[in-house]
Amino acid sequence: MEYIKSKIREVADYPSKGILFYDLTTAFKDPRALHIIGWDLSQLYRDKGVTKVVGIESRGFIGGSILAFELGAGFVPCRKPGKLPADTLRQEYAKEYGTDVIEIHRDAITPDDIVVIHDDVLATGGTMAAAIKLVKSLNPKKIYVNFIIELSALNGRAALPDDVEVTSLITY
Ligand code: AMP
């Protein structure tokens, strides 16, 4: 874990003043860190019968794809509005300024699925809470939620429902 941490770049005042941005591109470009991230993520879910990993656009696509591959599960993208070509479900959520929307294909998850929803960073939890609502409305058997990084000072877990198990590799 210390090795991964040493490869995460901390960028002050990005994207706006006062935000400390945890940049995972420097970990993803390092072969050993990428390997450890993929392995450690998959170890959390090895015996859970996971059938689909949902990745949140866009940084959640990287870890989500690796996790799906490692688990022998399918990958499902949760995307910004207008990006998915077929019939979608949409969910609005509050951001610091205004609202945002994410979408998922209506046929992406079925009731026999066991799902991990993955994003790179848990900050306020607004994005993940919206993704959970979308996935829940498709009635899978079980939903797990996973992050590479959790920013505990922002208490994002409080924004997530109690009936999903949340794991993160690294907590700051
Ligand atoms: P939130 O909805 O507040 O939990 O924000 C989560 C999304 O914003 C994730 O998809 C992250 O990629 C991104 N994000 C928010 N804050 C940070 C941060 N300090 N460092 C890196 N990514 C962040």
Q: What DSSP assignment string belongs to 144-170?
A: EEEEEEE-GGGTGGGGS-TTSEEEEEE
Answer whether 65 contacts ligand 1 (Cβ < 6 A): no
Note whether residue 36 is domain-resident. no
User: At a CB cut-off of 8 Å and minimum separation 6, what does 143 contact?
Assistant: 115, 116, 117, 132, 135, 136, 164
Over residues 151-172, the pLDDT tens digits come to: 999 999 999 999 999 999 999 9
Please return the burial class of 152, using the count of CB atoms within 10 Å of its CB with bins 0-12, 13-18 and 19+: exposed
| pLDDT digits 0-9 by tens, 71-100 | 999 999 999 999 999 999 999 999 877 899
Mean pLDDT, residues 104-132: 98
Class of residue 50 by CB neighbours under 10 A (exposed 0-12, middle 13-18, buried 19+): buried
CATH code, domain carrying 152? 3.40.50.2020
Please give the average per-residue pLDDT across 22-47, as a whole number. 98
Q: Of the residues 5, 92, 121, 171, which should be mutated to test ligand 1's pocket, given the most ligand atoms within 8 Å of the CB?
A: 121
Residue 76 is predicted with a pLDDT of: 99
Q: Is residue 8 part of a domain?
A: no
Residue 47 three-state SS: coil
Task: Supply the pLDDT for residue 95.
Answer: 83
Reported as a pLDDT band with limits 50, 70 and 90, residue 23 is very high
**Sign of the alpha-carbon dihedral angle for 145, 147, 153, 156:** negative
pLDDT, position 160: 98
Q: What is the DSSP letter of 80?
A: S
Residue 109 lies in a domain: yes
Cα 122 to ligand 1 centroid, rounded to whole Å: 6
Q: Is residue 25 part of a domain?
A: no
Task: Give ∠ CA 59-113-171 in degrees, rounded to 5.
Answer: 40
141 lies in some domain: yes
- pLDDT computed for residue 26 by the predictor: 98
Residue 8 has pLDDT above 90, yes or no: yes
* Atom 20, ligand 1: residue with shortest CA distance: 21
How much is the average pLDDT of 12-28?
96
Q: What pLDDT score was predicted for residue 97?
A: 76
Mean pLDDT of the 23-47 span = 98
Q: Kindly list the catalytic residues.
A: 59, 96
Domain of 87, in residue numbers: 48-171
End-to-end CA distance of the chain: 12
Ligand 1 midpoint to CA 142 (Å): 24
Tokens (6 digits) for 73? 């599960």
Number of domains in the chain: 1
Question: In this structure, is residue 1 part of a structural domain?
Answer: no
